[in-house]
C-alpha cells in the first residue's frame, strides 16, 4: 500500500469512528421501537398517551400514561422556575462581577455540583428535605412535587449556569466599552447590553437544563412519591415517566404488555428530550450571537 492510499484509508477509518454517536443514537431508537411498538397492537396511541389510568398490573390492565406525562412536566416546570433565576444570576455574577479568585472557586463549585451522583441527591431529598417539608407543612408525606422540584433544580443549575456563563463571557469587550462610554453603570450595561447579546446562549442553557430535568431518573424515583394520578396541589405525590420505568422494569415479565408499555413510555421520554435538545441546537445556531462573538 503506498503512502497516499494508506492516508486515505486511515481517514475513512476515522470517519467511521466519527459516526459512532449517530450509530448509537440509531441503536437506541431501534431498541425502543422494537420493544415499545408492540403495545400499540393492544392499546391505541390515543388511549396510551391520553389515558388517565395507569394500572399496569391489574386485570385487565390499564396503560394510560397521561398522569405520568403530567407528573414529568410539572416537576420539570417547577424545577426550571427555581433553577433559571439561580443559575442565570449566578452566571452573571461569575462572569461579570466576581473577582478572579472567587470566580475560580465558584466555577469549581458548579462543576462539583454537576458531579454529584443523582442517587446521592435523591437520598438527600429523602432523608433531609422530606421530613422538613412534612413537619413544616403538616403533610402526610414529604415525598412530593415540591421536594422533587427542588432537588431537580439543583441538578439543572450546573447546566444552566455554566452554559449561560460561556454565553455571557463571549459577548465582545467592545460592546461593554461602548456602553460604559455612553455613561451607563455596570449594572445597566449588564441588563441592557450584555444579557440581550447573550440571550440565545442563555436560552440554549435553559432548554438543556430542562432536558436534563425531564430525563432525570433517580431523583424522581426516590422523592416524587410515586402516585400515578393527576396532582391537585404542589404537595401531592406524582409519578414522572422515568420513575415509572425504573421502578417497574425490574418486576415485569419479559415481553409482557407491561414490559412493552414501559418501553413505549421510554419512547415518549426520548422524543421529548430530543425535542428539547433540537430546539436548543436550533436556537444556538440560528441566533448566533451578534458581533465577533460565537458560541
Interaction with another protein in 167-226: which residues (CB under 8 A)?
185-188, 191, 208, 211-212, 214-218, 221-222
Minimum CB separation of residue 143 from another protein in Å reads 10
Q: For the purposes of burial, counting CB atoms within 10 Å of the CB of 99, is it exposed (0-12), middle (13-18) or buried (19 or more)?
A: exposed
Applying the rule CB under 8 A, the residues between 1 and 30 that interact with another protein are: 3, 6-7, 10-11, 14-15, 17-22, 24-25, 27-28
Give 65-113 as a DSSP string: -HHHHHHHHHHHHHHHHHHHHHHHHHHHIIIIIS-HHHHHHHHHHHHHH
94 or 228: CB nearest another protein: 94
Quick note: the x/- pattern for another protein over 122-161, rule CB under 8 A, is xxx-xxx-------------------------x--x---x
> Rounded to an integer, what distance in angstroms lies between the CA atom of residue 170 and that of residue 211?
24
Task: Kindly state the cell numbers that stand for 285.
Answer: 445556531
Straight-line distance from the first to the last Cα atom of the chain, in angstroms, rounded to the nearest whole number: 42
Give the one residue of 70, 94, 205, 228 binding another protein; rule: CB under 8 A.
Answer: 94
Name the region of 86 (left: φ>0; alpha: ψ -120 to 50; beta: rest). Answer: alpha
> Rounded to an integer, what distance in angstroms lies between the CA atom of residue 262 and that of residue 292?
48
Minimum CB separation of residue 208 from another protein in Å reads 7
Interhelix angle for 145-169 vs 100-115, to 10°? 140
Minimum CB separation of residue 23 from another protein in Å reads 9
49 or 52: CB nearest another protein: 49
Stretch that binds another protein, among 44-52, 108-116, 131-139, 194-202 (CB under 8 A): 108-116
> Rounded to an integer, what distance in angstroms lies between the CA atom of residue 272 and that of residue 207?
12
Stretch that binds another protein, among 63-71, 87-95, 167-175, 194-202 (CB under 8 A): 87-95
97 or 230: CB nearest another protein: 97
Beta bridge partners of 258: none
Minimum CB separation of residue 232 from another protein in Å reads 25
66 or 123: CB nearest another protein: 123
Applying the rule CB under 8 A, the residues between 251 and 280 that interact with another protein are: 254, 262-263, 266, 269-270, 273-274, 276-278, 280
What proportions of the chain, in percent to the nearest 5, are helix, strand and coil? Answer: 75, 0, 25
Asked if 291 interacts with another protein (CB under 8 A), we say no
Stretch that binds another protein, among 39-47, 101-109, 169-177, 193-201 (CB under 8 A): 101-109
The helix/strand/coil state of 217 is coil
CA angle 207, 209, 212 (to 5 degrees): 110
Applying the rule CB under 8 A, the residues between 232 and 251 that interact with another protein are: 242, 245-246, 249-250
Give the one residue of 93, 169, 180, 287 binding another protein; rule: CB under 8 A.
Answer: 93
Tell how strand 54-55 and strand 62-63 pair up.
antiparallel
Amino acid at each position: 500500500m503506498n503512502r497516499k492510499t494508506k492516508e486515505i484509508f486511515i481517514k475513512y477509518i476515522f470517519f467511521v469512528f466519527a459516526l459512532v454517536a449517530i450509530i448509537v443514537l440509531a441503536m437506541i431508537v431501534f431498541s425502543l421501537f422494537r420493544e415499545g411498538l408492540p403495545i400499540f397492537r393492544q392499546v391505541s396511541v390515543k388511549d396510551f398517551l391520553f389515558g388517565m389510568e395507569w394500572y399496569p398490573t391489574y386485570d385487565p390492565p390499564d396503560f394510560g400514561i397521561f398522569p405520568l406525562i403530567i407528573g414529568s412536566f410539572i416537576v420539570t416546570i417547577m424545577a426550571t422556575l427555581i433553577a433559571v433565576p439561580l443559575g442565570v444570576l449566578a452566571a452573571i455574577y461569575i462572569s461579570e462581577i466576581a473577582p478572579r479568585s472567587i470566580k475560580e472557586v465558584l466555577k469549581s463549585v458548579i462543576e462539583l455540583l454537576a458531579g454529584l451522583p443523582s442517587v446521592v441527591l435523591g437520598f438527600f431529598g429523602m432523608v433531609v428535605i422530606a421530613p422538613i417539608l412534612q413537619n413544616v407543612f403538616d403533610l402526610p408525606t414529604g415525598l412530593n412535587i415540591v421536594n422533587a422540584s427542588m432537588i431537580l433544580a439543583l441538578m439543572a443549575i450546573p447546566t444552566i449556569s455554566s452554559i449561560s456563563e460561556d454565553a455571557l463571557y463571549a459577548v465582545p469587550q467592545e460592546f461593554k466599552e461602548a456602553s460604559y462610554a455612553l455613561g451607563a453603570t455596570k449594572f445597566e450595561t449588564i441588563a441592557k447590553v450584555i444579557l440581550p447579546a447573550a440571550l440565545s446562549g442563555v436560552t440554549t442553557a435553559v432548554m438543556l437544563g430542562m432536558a436534563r430535568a425531564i430525563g432525570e431518573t433517580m431523583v424522581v424515583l426516590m422523592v416524587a412519591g410515586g402516585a400515578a394520578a393527576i396532582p391537585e396541589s404542589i404537595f401531592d405525590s406524582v409519578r414522572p415517566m422515568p420513575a415509572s420505568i425504573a421502578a417497574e422494569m425490574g418486576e415485569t415479565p419479559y415481553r409482557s404488555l407491561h414490559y412493552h408499555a414501559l418501553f413505549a413510555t421510554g419512547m415518549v421520554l426520548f422524543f421529548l428530550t430530543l425535542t428539547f435538545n433540537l430546539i436548543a441546537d436550533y436556537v444556538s445556531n440560528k441566533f448566533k450571537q451578534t458581533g465577533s462573538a460565537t458560541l
